[in-house]
Amino acid sequence: MRNIFAVPIRDQILIYAPLHNLAALVSPTLALRLRDLLASGEPAGDGPLGELVDLLRDEVTEPAPLQGEFVPSALGLLPTRGCNLACRYCGFIASEETQFVMSLEMARDAVNWYMDQVQRSGAPHAEIHFFGGEPFCVEAVIDLAVHLAQRRAAEIGCTLRFEVATNGTFSEARCYWTADNLDTVVLSFDGPADVQNLHRPYKDGSGSFDAIARNARILSEGANSVYFRACITEATVGRMPEIATWFCQEFRPDAVSFEPLQPTPWSDNAGLVPPDPWAFAHNFIAAAQILEAHGVRPVYAPAEIGARQVTFCPVGKDFVIVAPDGVLTACYLLRGEWEARGLDLRLGRMNTDQNGAVQIDPEAVESIRGFNVHNKLFCAGCFARWHCAGGCHVNHILGSQPGDYDRLCIQARIIALYNILHAMHHDELAHTWLQDHAALARSVWQASDRLADRDGTL
Amino acid sequence: MSTAARVRCAPGIVWVKDTGRALLVDGETGRLWALQDADALTWELLSMGYKYTDLVRMLALLLTLSEDETSAVLDDTLARWQAAGIVLAAGDSAHG
Ligand code: SF4
Ligand code: SF4
C-alpha cells in the first residue's frame, strides 16, 4: 500500500496511485473504507469500490536505480564555463572554472569514446547535449562534435539526437545552422525586453533582448523543438500569465518551462528574490492554461506527472558530462557548487596525455547511482515522489522532519495536484480548490500522503 | 600562406544540407552543385566563417588526416571551387 496516496481536495479525497496509473476522487468515508479493505485483504465485493480495490491490489514495480554494467545513457559536452552574458543571478561569472575551454582533441576523444560505447552496447540511439556557460562561445567544439558524431552514427547505423541549452545570443547564421542541425534548443529567455534586459544583460551591461528575440523567431520557424526556460523572481511572478501570452503571440515555442529563481550571492546582490511559492504555483497554473490554449506545453519539471523516475536529472542516470578540463561528471553545475555541499559528482576523467583514454571510476558510478529517491526518506510519503524524486541533488536541501516542506515542495505539490485534477478533467474543482487557501494548505501540509498513514480524521 | 587563406563563399550561392550532401545553387545562373562527404563538410565549415588554419585543424580531426595532408587536399578543393565561382577571394566584391 506504500504507493497509494490520499490527498484532501476540499471535501473530497484524491486517491492517487501513480504506479497503478490510477487517480480517483472519493469521499473521506470511502477513502477510509478503501484503506481498511486494502490493509485487511478482505473481499471488497462487486461495484465501483470493489473494482477500485481490485485495481489497487495489483502488484506494481517501483522504479529502480540503475544497476550492473555502466553504459552511458547520453553524453554532455561543456565546451566552456565562460559566457558572453553577465546574468544577474548567475554564479558562473565569478568562478575560476570559466577559464577552461575544451580542446578540439578532447571533444573528438569524448565523442569517439561515447560512440564506441553506443556501438558496443548495441544501443539503437545516441544522444549528445551541449551545456555551458554558453556553449556557443566555443562554436568549433560544437561543430566538430556534431560532424564527428553524425559520421560515426552513420557508420554504426544508430539514430542520433542533439540538444543544446543556450542563451540564444548567437549570430543569425549560427541560428540558422542550429535550426538545421540540432534537434532540441533550450533557450534561456526570461520574457519581454524589460525583464530579459534586466536579468540577462551582456557583460558591458547592454541588453540581450534584441538578439534572443530575433533568434527565437528564427528557431520558431525551424523543424527542431524549441523550449523557452524563463527564470521567475518575486518581481515577475505576477507577470507569468502576461509572459506566457507574449511568448505565444510573438513566437512558437514547443514548451515553456518556468523556473523559480535559485537564490545565489549574485542574485542577492542584484536585489533579485525568489518568488513566493504559493504565488508561483497560482501564476504557473494561470500561465499553463494560456500556453495550453495556444498548443504550447507548460513545464514545471518537478511536477511532471507523466514522469516515473528515481532521480530528477542526469545524476544517477549514467549520463556522462565532460567538463572543459577533462573531468567527467554526472551534474552540469560548477564543480565548486557541489563540492561546497560536500558532494562528489565526478564519474572519472579523460586522460589527454594517454590518447584521450576515458577512465570511468566504477566506485563513483555506484556512489552516484545512490543519488535517488529511494535514499531520500524525506520524500517517502510524498505523492509526488516518483515525479519530483526530491529535486536537484545539489541545490534542494530536504527538510529534516516529514512534512517540513520548503518552497520547491510547496509549489511542486500544488502544481502536481493541479496537473492530476486537470488530467482527470476536474478543472472546475481545481479552480475552486485553488481559490480556497485553507483547502490548498490542507492539501499541501500533510506530513505523509500515504493512504496507509491516514487516520480517522481524513 | 596559401591563396586559400583569403577565400570565402560566394554571396550569390544558396545552399541546403541534405542527408550528408550540400546542394548549392547559383542564384544568378541557376547552376547546381552537389557536394559529397569531405567536400560537403568543407563547404559547411567554410560557410560558418572558419579561417583557413581553423578549417585545416577541424578537417584534420574529422577526416583523421595530418594537418599537412589536410592542407594539400583543402588547397586543391578551394582552387577548384574558386575556378567554378562558388568561392571568391576574400577581397573580391560580390559579383553582380
Ligand atoms: S517531498 Fe518535496 S522534494 Fe520530495 S518528492 Fe515531495 S515535493 Fe519533491
Ligand atoms: S544535481 Fe541539480 S544541478 Fe546537478 S544536474 Fe541534477 S538538477 Fe542539475
Judge if A223 and A291 occupy the same domain: yes
CA B84 to chain CA centroid, Å, is 11
Choosing from A249, A269, A303, the residue where a domain stops is: A303
Judge if A124 and A256 occupy the same domain: yes
Judge if A79 and A49 occupy the same domain: no
How does DSSP assign A238-269, residue by residue?
Answer: GGHHHHHHHHHHH---SEEEEEE----HHHHH
Mean pLDDT taken over chain B: 86
Choosing from A251, A268, A303, the residue where a domain stops is: A303
Judge if A200 and A153 occupy the same domain: yes
Judge if A27 and A117 occupy the same domain: no
Report CA-CA distances (Å) from A360 to A141, A150, A264, A338: 22, 24, 32, 19
Query: Does some domain include residue A285?
Result: yes
For residues B21 and A281, the model is more confident at A281
Judge if A146 and A25 occupy the same domain: no
Query: Does some domain include residue A17?
Result: yes
Mean pLDDT taken over chain A: 95
- B48:A177 CB<8 A: yes
Q: What is the pLDDT of residue B92?
A: 53
On whether the CB atoms of residues B15 and B32 are closer than 8 A, the answer is no
Judge if A43 and A150 occupy the same domain: no
Q: Nearest Cα to A343, choosing from A294, A395, A288, A289?
A: A395
Amino acid identity of B13?
I
pTM strictly above 0.90: yes
Percent of chain B clearing pLDDT 90 (strictly above): 58
Judge if A42 and A123 occupy the same domain: no
Name residues of chain A where pLDDT drops below 70: 93-94, 353-356, 456-458
Q: What is the pLDDT of residue A217?
A: 97
Judge if A387 and A277 occupy the same domain: no
Percent of chain A clearing pLDDT 90 (strictly above): 90
Q: Whose CA is nearest to atom 5 of ligand 1?
A: A385
Domains in chain A: how many in total? 2
Judge if A21 and A83 occupy the same domain: no
Any ligand 1 atom below 6 A from CB of A388: yes
Where in chain B are the domains? 11-84
Angle at A34 between CA A31 and CA A40, to 5 degrees: 145
Query: Does some domain include residue A146?
Result: yes
Query: Does some domain include residue A151?
Result: yes
Query: Does some domain include residue A324?
Result: no
Choosing from A286, A303, A320, the residue where a domain stops is: A303
Q: Nearest Cα to A79, choosing from A145, A143, A138, A150?
A: A138
Per the structure, the complete domain to which residue A158 belongs is given by 74-303
Per residue in B54-86, pLDDT tens?
Answer: 999 999 999 999 999 999 999 999 999 999 989
Query: Cβ of A429: how many Cβ atoms within 10 Å?
Result: 16
For residues B12 and A393, the model is more confident at A393
Cα gap A242→A238, rounded to integer Å:
8
Which residues, numbered 24 to 63 in chain B, qualify as contacts with chain A under a Cβ-Cβ cut-off of 8 Å?
A: 41, 44-45, 47-50, 54, 57-58, 61-62
Judge if A254 and A381 occupy the same domain: no
Any ligand 2 atom below 6 A from CB of A391: no
Nearest CA in chain B to A141: B58
- Domain containing residue A275: CATH number: 3.20.20.70
What is the value of ipTM here, to two decimals?
A: 0.88
Judge if A127 and A37 occupy the same domain: no
